[in-house]
Structures are given as structure tokens and as C-alpha cells.
Amino acid sequence: GTQADFIVNNYNLYQLSTGELLRSEIKNKTNLGKEISSIINTGSLVSDAIVKKLVEIFISDKKFKNRLIFDGYPRNLAQAKTLEEMLKKYDQKIDLVLKLTVSLETIKKRIMDRKSQEKRADDNEDTAIKRFKTYEITTEPLIEYYKKMNLLKEIDGERTIDQINKEISDIIDLI
């Protein structure tokens, strides 16, 4: 999220954070929000169908054509395949996939720092550990998937925000 924010501000791009979209449903107390709040608070994934609906609103909008940064999406292989189908349908493609690698210890520390600022209901140690497990089991296979497609760049996420900014800019500038 931090780095997506930076990329958006430096390039003419739009950030699509599925987590943010889902949290705003909860905040606005919509029917969807009521359905998903307990799922998010236990660190599991919301259904692929719900996420697809939210994402397609942006992919189908000409204003965002080929200018989206997906933050926290796709989270599993089914979502990656759905994303490809949607991009094809609206004549778009993925240019780059970034993996920021961070240890569980660092994640816990950063989440505790964020907790005091953003007050996210899922920013507690138990849910953070569950989210990390969900990542390892469900999301990690995407790394091989995008590696095979020659789209993946791995970045050491343990470094400072500025150092990571710089590396990401250099990678984007080469596209």
C-alpha cells in the first residue's frame, strides 16, 4: 500500500486496493460490508466472486485503461486467471508484477506501528499471523505463476521506504 501510493503519485497511475474497497463497504455498513467483516477480521480471503465484481468496475472503465496498480490483488490462482480474462476482455495487459519480501517479524512490527495510526480491525497479532499463513498457502503460488510469465520482479522489502521507492522507480522506468 505504501509503495503503491508512491507509484501513483509519481506516474500517471491509479491505485486499486481491494482491501481498501472492502473496508469502505464495511465502513459504509452496506449489505456486502456486513457479509465480509468477520471474514476480514479473521484473516481469511473474501470470495473470488465478490472481489471480481469490485475489480471489474475499474478494469471496464476507460479512464483507467492500462493505468491500474493492483494492490493486494490477485490473492490466489483463480483470481489471477480471472484477472487475465478480464484484462483480455477490455484489451489490456499486465506489464509488471512486484513482490516485496518481508519477514513475519518485520510484518508484525509494521502492523503494530500502523495500528496506532489507521486503527484497522484486522491489525492485531493473531489476525496478522493468520493473514501471513493465508498468504503462504494461497497467495505464494502466484510467485511461480508470474515468474513463468516473465513478469515478476522481487524486491527486498526489509529496507527503508525510500530505498524501495528508488528500486521500484528504476524498474518502472525500464518498461
Please give the Cα distance from 17 to 40 (Å, whole number).
14
Q: For 47, which DSSP code?
A: P
Nearer to ligand AMP, 55 or 168 (CB): 55
Which residue stretches of 42-91 are H helix? 48-59, 77-89
Q: Which is nearer to ligand AMP, 105 or 170 (CB)?
A: 105
Residue closer to ligand AMP by CB (options 44, 92) is: 44
Q: Where do we find the cell 521506504?
A: 161
Q: Please state, in angstroms and rounded to a whole number, the distance separating the CA atoms of residues 82 and 163.
A: 33
Min dist CB 95 to ligand AMP, Å, is 19
Q: Between the CA atoms of 15, 54, 99 and 97, what dihedral angle is there, to the nearest 10 degrees?
A: -80
- For ligand AMP, give the closer residue by CB, 140 or 166: 140
Chain residues binding ligand AMP by CB under 6 A are 18-19, 22, 39-40, 43-46, 51, 72-73, 75, 79, 122, 131
Tell me the closest approach of the beta carbon of residue 153 to ligand AMP, in angstroms: 19
Closer to ligand AMP by CB, 19 or 33: give it: 19
CB of 19 to ligand AMP, least distance (A): 2
Tell me the closest approach of the beta carbon of residue 11 to ligand AMP, in angstroms: 21
Residue nearest to ligand AMP (CB): 19
C-alpha cell at 64: 483507467
| Residue keyed to cell 481498501 | 20
The helix-helix angle for 104-118 and 125-134 (nearest 10°) equals 130
What cell was used for 106? 518485520
Q: How far is the CB of 149 from ligand AMP (least distance, A)?
A: 19
Biggest alpha carbon–alpha carbon distance for the chain = 44
